[in-house]
C-alpha cells in the first residue's frame, strides 16, 4: 500500500449528501476482483450519459478537476452496501483524501485499508473547504497527515484528529497484509516449532 504522509492537490467539491457506494461505483462494475481500472467508472451514472458521452457539468468532468486528488463531500459519504470496490474506484481515479462531516462506518474503515485518508470535520469547516474548492484549479489544498493539518489555498489551516493506529498504518503504507508481514519472523519460528512437535499437521 502506498504511504500517505503529505498530499498536495486540487480539491473537488461534491456537496451531495448520502452519496452511497452504488453511486460511487455502480453494481455492474463489481464483477472484477482487480483494484485497477475502476476509476474510469467512478460515479459512472453521474459522469456519463447512456450513450457513453460525458456529462460536462459533473464536477470530475470539468477541466479544473480532472486530476483532483482530494474530494470535499457532504454528510454520510459512502453509505449503502459494503463494497470495497468503492474505495478502489476512488483510488484508481486518483482520489487519496476525502473530507466530509461524516462517513458510513464500513466505507470509512475500507478507506484506511486501501491507502485513502478519510477526514471528518465539523460541517462549518467542510463548508469553508467546499467554498475554496469551487475555485477550480486554484483550489490547491495540502493535507499533512504527520502534523494532522489541512492548509487551504489562502494559507489558512485546520487541524484534524485521527486514530493513532490508523495514522501509523497510513504513514508507513501498511495494509492488513503488511501488518501481518511485520510478524514474519515470529510466524516462521512458530511454524518451525510446530513442524517439529506436530509434524502430522503438515502432511
**SS3 of 47, please?**
helix
- Give me the number of domains the chain comprises: 1
| Whether the predicted pLDDT of 174 surpasses 90 | no
Q: Tell me if 60 is assigned to some domain.
A: yes
Element at 166 (helix H, strand E): helix 164-172
Q: Tell me if 29 is assigned to some domain.
A: yes
Q: Tell me if 201 is assigned to some domain.
A: no
| Whether the predicted pLDDT of 192 surpasses 80 | no
CB-based contact 150:158 (threshold 8 Å): yes
Q: Tell me if 202 is assigned to some domain.
A: no
* Cα–Cα distance, 45 to 126 (Å, whole number): 25
Q: How many CB atoms lie within 10 A of CB 10?
A: 21
Q: Higher-confidence residue: 81 or 189?
A: 81
User: Which pLDDT score, from 0 to 100, does residue 6 have?
Assistant: 97
CATH for 52: 3.20.19.10
Instruction: Please state whether the predicted TM-score (pTM) of the whole model is above 0.95.
Output: no
Backbone angles phi, psi at 181, to 5 degrees: -65, -20
Q: Residue 92: which pLDDT band, with cuts at 50, 70 and 90? A: very high
**SS3 of 160, please?**
coil
Q: 86: domain range?
A: 6-196
Q: Would you list the DSSP string of 83-133? A: -THHHHHHHHHT--EEEES-B-HHHHHHHHHTT-EEEE--HHHHHHHHHHH
User: Which pLDDT score, from 0 to 100, does residue 138 have?
Assistant: 87
Q: Higher-confidence residue: 108 or 187?
A: 108
Q: Tell me if 190 is assigned to some domain.
A: yes
- The strand pair at 6-14 and 157-159 is best described as unpaired
| Whether the predicted pLDDT of 180 surpasses 80 | no
Q: Tell me if 203 is assigned to some domain.
A: no
pLDDT tens-place string over residues 5-48: 999 999 999 999 999 999 999 999 998 888 899 999 999 999 99
Q: Tell me if 48 is assigned to some domain.
A: yes
Placement of cell 494559507 in the chain? 155
| Whether the predicted pLDDT of 182 surpasses 80 | no
Q: Tell me if 31 is assigned to some domain.
A: yes
Q: Residue 199: which pLDDT band, with cuts at 50, 70 and 90? A: confident
Amino acid at each position: 500500500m502506498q504511504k500517505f504522509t503529505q498530499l498536495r492537490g486540487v480539491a473537488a467539491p461534491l456537496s451531495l449528501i448520502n452519496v452511497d457506494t452504488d453511486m460511487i461505483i455502480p453494481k455492474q462494475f463489481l464483477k472484477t476482483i482487480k483494484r485497477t481500472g475502476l476509476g474510469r467508472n467512478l460515479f459512472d451514472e453521474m459522469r456519463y450519459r447512456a450513450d457513453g458521452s460525458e456529462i460536462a457539468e459533473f464536477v470530475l468532468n470539468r477541466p479544473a478537476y480532472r486530476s483532483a486528488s482530494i474530494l470535499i463531500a457532504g454528510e454520510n459519504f459512502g453509505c449503502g452496501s459494503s463494497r470495497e470496490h468503492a474505495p478502489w474506484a476512488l483510488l484508481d481515479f486518483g482520489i487519496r483524501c476525502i473530507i466530509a462531516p461524516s462517513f458510513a462506518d464500513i466505507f470509512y474503515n475500507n478507506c484506511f485499508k486501501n491507502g485513502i485518508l478519510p477526514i471528518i470535520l465539523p460541517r462549518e469547516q467542510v463548508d469553508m473547504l467546499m467554498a475554496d474548492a469551487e475555485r477550480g484549479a486554484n483550489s490547491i489544498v495540502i493535507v499533512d497527515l504527520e502534523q494532522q493539518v489541512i492548509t487551504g489555498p489562502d494559507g489558512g489551516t485546520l487541524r484534524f484528529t485521527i486514530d493513532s493506529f490508523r495514522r501509523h498504518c497510513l504513514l508507513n503504507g501498511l495494509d492488513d497484509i503488511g501488518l501481518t508481514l511485520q510478524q514474519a519472523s515470529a510466524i516462521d519460528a512458530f511454524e518451525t516449532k510446530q513442524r517439529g512437535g506436530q509434524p502430522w499437521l503438515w502432511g
